[in-house]
C-alpha cells in the first residue's frame, strides 16, 4: 500500500447506483429449487417458463394475499 494516493482526477459517485437499481441475488434452498425445476420441466412441454418468472409470480401472489390479510 502506498503512503499517499493522488485523487486529484477522481470523480465522486462514478460507480454509485441507487439501491432500487441493484439486482440482489436470491438463493433458494436445494429442495425448493429442485421442486420448481421439476415443475418447469413438466410445463416445458406446453410453454416456456423460466425459474425467475415462476418464483416472481408466486411472490407477487403472496404479496396480494398478505395485503388482503392486513386490510
For residues 5-17, one letter each, b for 16 or more C-beta atoms within 10 angstroms of the residue's C-beta and e for the rest, the string is eeeeeeeeeeeee
**For residue 40, how far is the Cα from the chain centroid?**
18
The pLDDT tens digits for 12-61 are: 999 998 888 888 888 999 999 999 888 777 776 666 668 888 899 999 99
At residue 46, the pLDDT reads: 61
At residue 44, the pLDDT reads: 67
pTM summary value: 0.58
CA distance 43 to 52: 14
At residue 45, the pLDDT reads: 67
Q: Is 23 helix (H, G, I), strand (E, B) or coil?
A: coil
**Where does residue 54 rank: exposed (0-12), middle (13-18), buried (19+ CB within 10 A)?**
middle
Distant-in-sequence, close-in-space partners of 37: CB < 8 Å, separation ≥ 6: 51
Confidence class for position 71, pLDDT limits 50, 70, 90: confident
Amino acid at each position: 500500500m502506498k503512503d499517499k494516493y493522488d485523487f486529484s482526477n477522481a470523480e465522486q459517485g462514478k460507480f454509485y447506483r441507487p439501491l432500487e437499481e441493484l439486482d440482489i441475488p436470491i438463493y433458494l434452498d436445494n429442495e425448493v429449487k429442485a421442486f420448481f425445476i421439476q415443475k418447469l420441466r413438466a410445463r416445458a412441454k406446453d410453454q416456456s417458463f423460466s425459474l425467475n418468472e415462476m418464483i416472481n409470480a408466486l411472490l407477487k401472489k403472496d404479496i396480494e394475499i398478505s395485503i388482503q390479510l392486513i386490510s
